[in-house]
Amino acid sequence: MSLIQLENISKHYGKYQALEQLNVQLEGGMIGLLGPNGAGKTTLIRVLTGFLQPSQGRASLAGCDLAQPEQLAQLRQQLGYVPQHPAFYPTWTCSEFVDYIAQLKGMHAATERKAAVERSIQYVGLSDHANKATRQLSGGMQRRLGIAQAIVNDPKVLIVDEPTAGLDPEERLRFRHLLAGLGNQRLVIFSTHIVEDIVQTCRQVIMLKKTILYAGGLNELLEQARAAQVSWEITSPTPLYDQQLAIVSSSNDEQGYHYRIVGQPPAGSNAKPASSVGLEEAYLWMMQQASA
Amino acid sequence: MNLIQTFCLGSLRNISRNRFLWVILPLLIVFSNFLGLNGDIMYTLFTQSCACLAIVFVHESKCDLQVRETVWSTRYNLVNYSIGRLLAYSIATLIIIGLCEIVMFLHGSNGYIGAVLHHNGEHITISMRFPWQLWLKTFFSMLPIFVLLLCVRNYYRLGLITAIGYWLYIFAFVILLRQNILIGTITSGFYPLRWLAIIPSTNVFLYAWADPIPWILPSLGLAGLGWFGYLAKCMWRKTAEPLHIKPAWLGLGLALSCLSLYLGYQQFVAMLHMYNPASVF
């Protein structure tokens, strides 16, 4: 059964087209939403949470048609959402805020709610800071509090918008681990423009640049990229300054300058096909295809 | 009902922790004591203290705007949210009036406050222990302001200018000068803005001791018109914000608000003929 279904979804703000004819059918699990800045990831997420209405098309999530107010309301009871910039009432404590969101999600029984609040705060490792005002939290802690409020009702669908942007490496790893744990039990849509985060956590990926470039399994995408021979290794005696080349990595030693590029290698170069293809290269390849 | 309660308690929590309020309220009380506790100053204290809430309202709206993506992903809907917030600020208004009353009781002359009115050349001294007219008028005059601020809650600067403008208006023009120089009176002089006198919130200081009943219907009418009008606008513009109200209820609400405003206007005009503000002050 498809847990995410998009049919011809478009969204425009005046003359600006943010999303164009999106068609997707994906199953549950952990789904990575990957695209460059301004690709429409946040817009798509806002459409999926019902925060924005699409200009055209139909979307359904976990079997709920988002165009139907009753079904949208039903979805919201089993939805957890962490926005790109999680914000809180600055004078409230962490547990007060999570408790408030739990009440808004329909958890009325006080004892049950209190236990759920404690559990979710503990899950994200903020137990020691539960009674601290939210304005006193660091950036990473605020992201974790964002997760805590999203999972307090044990949602079937969890949507996380660029949670690792701006975090230090240690906090990023902790976050990935958190999300991977949550993805075992529910549908998690994880938006990011950091390729490494997707590789480490997701089995399915949606690549977006105003329109869908790819939607499906991560391994299948890598297979396609490998078959299309998208990655090349070049060794040059002088540095390459060609702005057209999509250089993935570069290094130099006494033998010369070594490059790994995506796309057509320059004519006359000693380019050799790369033995393996990573998601970063597949991503660049997709972006090149979209720009062509 | 649960959602309304949650939003209301959330707002009350924000109000109770607002630093601005806790700084400005004692200052106002000290200011009032410094000038002496007579009826006019008490009224100053009531209106000024409650007008502070307008600024607190705008500050909370700013926070709401920041957390709205999180809150919208819950069972949030605009009707419950706005009722909850208006309820919270109405309760806060009553609490502040109560606090002012306690201050008056502690520092006034045996708990009484008094005022001297000049009416048809005569000096009339009135003295009251519980000036309920002032409570009622202050309370109802705040309602349309809160609704107005609710309507502009997504425009922080506009809301802030409105709230500060209202506060300064009361402070500078009405309280310090003790007369309504913008609107003037219904009966004398040329005042292009005098039609504003029908909006109780703009002239609470005039007719301070007059019958408070004519304040109720126009204030409720204005607040209702603003609130139902705002909901109708959201429905018309088809914003993604969930509304959970049927068009028939909106129509009924608008009709009742118009009726309330019309009847209130009649009462207000009748009151103006009885209490000529030019002779009161």
| 3 state SS for chain B | CHHHHHHHHHHHHHHHCCHHHHHHHHHHHHHHHHHCCCHHHHHHHHHHHHHHHHHHHHHHHHHHHHHHHHHHCCCCCHHHHHHHHHHHHHHHHHHHHHHHHHHHHHHCECCEEEEEEEECCEEEEEEECCCHHHHHHHHHHHHHHHHHHHHCCCCHHHHHHHHHHHHHHHHHHHHHCCCCCCCCCCCCCCCCCHHHHHCHHHCCCCCCCCCCHHHHHHHHHHHHHHHHHHHHHHHHHCCCCCCCCCHHHHHHHHHHHHHHHHHHHHHHHHHHHHCCHHHHC
**CATH code of domain A1-78+156-218:** 3.40.50.300
- Residue-wise pLDDT for B99-150, tens only, equals 877 777 766 555 555 555 555 555 555 556 667 777 787 888 889 999 999 9
pLDDT attached to residue B109: 57
Contact yes or no for A190/A197 (Cβ under 8 A): yes
Look up residue B172 and give its amino acid. Answer: A
| Contact check, Cβ <8 Å, A77/B75 | yes
Kindly report the nearest CA distance between residue B78 and chain A, in angstroms: 13
Going by pLDDT thresholds of 50, 70 and 90, the confidence category of residue B231 is very high
Instruction: Name the residue in chain A with its Cα closest to that of B76.
Output: A104
The tens place of each residue's pLDDT in chain A, 292 residues long, gives: 678 889 999 999 888 989 999 998 888 788 999 988 888 998 999 898 888 889 999 999 888 898 888 888 888 888 999 998 889 999 999 999 999 999 999 888 899 999 999 999 998 889 999 999 999 998 889 988 999 999 999 898 999 988 887 778 888 888 888 888 888 778 899 898 888 888 888 889 999 988 888 888 888 988 888 888 888 888 888 887 776 778 888 888 888 888 888 887 777 777 888 878 888 888 888 888 877 7
pLDDT attached to residue B241: 75
- Residue-wise pLDDT for B82-103, tens only, equals 999 999 999 999 998 888 777 7
CA–CA dist A147, A141 (Å, integer): 10
Look up residue A186 and give its amino acid. Answer: R
| Contact check, Cβ <8 Å, A53/B240 | yes
Measured CA to CA in angstroms, residue A123 lies from A116, A201, B29, B39 at distances of 10, 18, 47, 58
Mutate to test the interface with B, among A103, A143, A189 (most CBs of B within 10 A): A103
Among partner residues A49, A76, A146, which is closest to B75 by beta-carbon distance? A76
Interface check B246 vs A, CB under 8 A: no
Q: Which tokens belong to B275? A: 């209490």
Q: Which residues in chain A are closer than 8 Å to B63, comparing Cβ atoms? A: 87, 89-90
CA–CA dist A49, A79 (Å, integer): 8
Q: Is A154 helix (H, G, I), strand (E, B) or coil?
A: coil
- Residue-wise pLDDT for B39-91, tens only, equals 556 666 777 788 889 999 999 999 999 999 899 889 888 999 999 999 999 99
The residue behind tokens 């500050």 is: B59
Contacts of A57 (CB under 8 A, 6+ apart): A6, A7, A8, A9, A10, A21, A22
| Contact check, Cβ <8 Å, A46/B6 | no
| Contact check, Cβ <8 Å, A100/B6 | yes
Contacts of B189 (CB under 8 A, 6+ apart): none
Residue B37 pLDDT greater than 80, yes or no: no
| Contact check, Cβ <8 Å, A50/B240 | yes
C-beta neighbour count of B74 within 10 angstroms: 23
CA–CA dist A242, B78 (Å, integer): 55
| Contact check, Cβ <8 Å, B242/A86 | no
Instruction: Name the residue in chain B with its Cα closest to that of A80.
Output: B73
| Contact check, Cβ <8 Å, B74/A104 | yes
Order of strands, sheet of A64-65, starting from the edge strand that comes earlier in the sequence: A16-26, A4-13, A56-61, A64-65
CA–CA dist A75, A48 (Å, integer): 10
DSSP A15: T
Q: Which residues in chain B are closer than 8 Å to A50, comparing Cβ atoms? A: 72-73, 240, 242
Kindly report the nearest CA distance between residue B2 and chain A, in angstroms: 8
CA–CA dist B36, A31 (Å, integer): 69
Q: Which tokens belong to B159? A: 């809301």
pLDDT attached to residue B121: 56
Q: Which residues in chain A are closer than 8 Å to B3, comparing Cβ atoms? A: 104
pLDDT attached to residue A98: 96
pLDDT attached to residue B279: 40
B residues 53-112 closer than 8 Å to A (CB): 63, 66-67, 69-76
More confident residue, B97 or B184: B97
Residue A14 CA neighbour count, 13 Å, CB half: 1
List residues of chain A with CB under 8 Å from any CB of chain B.
Answer: 46, 49-53, 69, 72-73, 76-77, 79-83, 86-92, 96, 100-101, 103-106, 108, 146, 149, 159
The residue behind tokens 């002496």 is: B36
Interface check B10 vs A, CB under 8 A: yes
CA–CA dist B104, B114 (Å, integer): 11
Instruction: Name the residue in chain A with its Cα closest to that of B14.
Output: A91
Q: Please give the ipTM for the structure prediction.
A: 0.83
| Contact check, Cβ <8 Å, A104/B6 | yes
Among partner residues A46, A89, A105, which is closest to B63 by beta-carbon distance? A89
Q: Which residues in chain A are closer than 8 Å to B71, comparing Cβ atoms? A: 101, 104
Kindly report the nearest CA distance between residue B25 and chain A, in angstroms: 19
Contacts of A279 (CB under 8 A, 6+ apart): A195, A198, A199, A205, A218, A221, A222
Q: What domain range includes position B206?
A: 2-280
Mutate to test the interface with B, among A104, A152, A160 (most CBs of B within 10 A): A104
Domain spans, chain A: 1-78+156-218, 90-155, 224-291
Q: Is A116 helix (H, G, I), strand (E, B) or coil?
A: helix
| Contact check, Cβ <8 Å, B3/A91 | no
Paired sense of beta strands A256-262 and A246-253, if any: antiparallel
Instruction: Name the residue in chain A with its Cα closest to that of B17.
Output: A91
More confident residue, B191 or B211: B211
Kindly report the nearest CA distance between residue A128 and chain B, in angstroms: 23
Order of strands, sheet of A30-34, starting from the edge strand that comes earlier in the sequence: A79-82, A157-161, A187-192, A30-34, A204-209, A211-217
| Contact check, Cβ <8 Å, A79/B63 | no
| Contact check, Cβ <8 Å, B70/A79 | no
CA–CA dist B137, A138 (Å, integer): 46
Number of independent structural domains in chain B:
1
Contact yes or no for B77/B234 (Cβ under 8 A): no
| Contact check, Cβ <8 Å, A104/B72 | no
Phi, psi of B210 (to 5 degrees): -70, 170
Residue B189 pLDDT greater than 50, yes or no: no
Q: Which residues in chain A are closer than 8 Å to B74, comparing Cβ atoms? A: 76, 101, 104-105
More confident residue, A30 or B211: A30
